[in-house]
Amino acid sequence: MTHEQKDRLRSVVVGIGSYLPNRIVSNQDLEKSLETTDEWIVQRTGITQRHIAADDERTSTLGLRAAEAALADAGLTGKDIDLIIVATSTPDYVFPSVATQIQAGLGMYHGAAFDVQAVCSGFVFGVATADKFLQSGSHKRALVIGAETFSRLLDWTDRTTCVLFGDGAGAIVLEAQASAGTVKDRGVLTSHLRSDGRHFDKLYVDGGPSATRSVGHLRMSGREVFRHAVGMVTDVMADAFAATGTGPADLDWFVPHQANRRIIDASAEKLGISPEKVVTTVQYHANTSAASIPLALAVACGDGRIKKGDLVMIEAMGGGFTWGSALIRW
Ligand code: ACO
């Protein structure tokens, strides 16, 4: 441990919560309106079902529920939070942000709240951003929320995309705590963010206020995304291991973005992470974009797999492209 690492601030996870809409749409349900089969979807993606938001539920509704659950888990209220970061690509409105709506929903009239937009990597970008604020000492406790209603952005006649996504939200509370700064101490140990805008047209929405004055639909070259995904996410995980002097064998849990079972399995295999350490929820939630990691974390914390002191790797890749990783001592 170097002198500089002493008495530093670490962003420690002190609460987690999630929310899934009640309505479940199975692959069999989709067979009724699309030329698709349960077998095709399961074989290519691992997905069996997805949750879809009710008409009166918005991204902010889902995010607020997840935030309330995370605060309850932490034994805190909105009064104790001074930063809210919401990762989303499906905001209720172009503006104001989902974060300010959740802030109001929590009865908070202090602190700062804003959205980050990095598509499926949004939660990792949100954690990394909150971590910088907390490490600097400028803020004490942050809610980092991933919340999405991707069902509203899909072309439900396009079988190549609409079968892949779902709605939901997850949230964590991060608290700045004094730390000795070793890899054994709790908190976000390191985070690594990347982006490369040359890949714009492989995964994008074909609308927006400035480009088309409309909302548009999600478009994806699935094969192209697949081709890049494994290399990109394993690169940033290798960066996290290198920065902390840890390796795949040190991980207790690997909680990747839940887009596709084959991408998850291939990424774990490439780094030599054993399958029993991989948390997979894509089969139940489908791809909920920025919400997928906190939803998976909430499942694994809820069923007792992730425990205080465990070493947890999160990673994601999404439109842009954007990709990133964060290594957390839970
Ligand atoms: N049901 C039945 N058949 C289908 C369906 C469907 N839902 N969708 C496509 N097909 C057909 C295609 O039309 C094609 O038929 P053809 O051979 O007669 O032309 C055939 O299946 C194969 O299509 P491909 O697109 O080549 O299928 P592929 O094996 O690549 O699987 C998939 C598609 C699942 C999208 C895959 O490419 C993939 O997982 N890509 C990564 C996508 C992803 O994970 N994106 C999210 C990451 S980033 C983010 O999270 C936003």
The string of pLDDT tens digits covering residues 208-240 is: 999 999 999 999 999 999 999 999 999 999 999
Ligand 1, CB cutoff 6 Å, lining residues: 36, 40-41, 44-45, 119-120, 159-160, 163, 203, 222-223, 225-226, 259-260, 263, 287, 289, 317-319
Q: Does the structure show a pLDDT above 80 at 321?
A: yes
- What percent of the chain stands above pLDDT 90? 98
Our answer to whether residue 120 is catalytic in this structure is yes
Phi (first) and psi of residue 71, to 5 degrees: -65, -40
> Confidence band (pLDDT; 50, 70, 90) for 4?
very low
Indicate the burial class of 36 (C-beta count within 10 angstroms; 0-12, 13-18, 19 or more): middle
Handedness of CA 137, 139, 144, 149 (dihedral sign): negative
pLDDT of residue 7: 65
pLDDT of residue 171: 99
Alpha carbon dihedral 293, 164, 48, 148, in 10-degree steps, equals 40
Hey, what are 184's tokens?
A: 């054994």
> Cα–Cα distance between 123 and 21 in angstroms, integer?
19
H or E stretch covering 254: strand 253-256
Q: Does the structure show a pLDDT above 80 at 300?
A: yes
115-142 pLDDT tens trace: 999 999 999 999 999 999 999 999 999 9
> Cα–Cα distance between 142 and 126 in angstroms, integer?
10
Peptide bond preceding 226 in cis form (omega within 30 of 0): no
Our answer to whether residue 287 is catalytic in this structure is yes
Testing ligand 1's pocket by substitution, the residue of 32, 225, 288 carrying the most ligand atoms inside 8 A of its CB is 225
Q: Which domains does the chain have, with CATH numbers?
A: 8-179 (3.40.47.10), 187-329 (3.40.47.10)
151-200 pLDDT tens trace: 999 999 999 999 999 999 999 999 999 999 999 999 999 999 999 999 99
Give the ligand 1 atom nearest the CA of 317. Answer: 48
31-70 pLDDT tens trace: 999 999 999 999 999 999 999 999 999 999 999 999 999 9
pLDDT of residue 245: 98
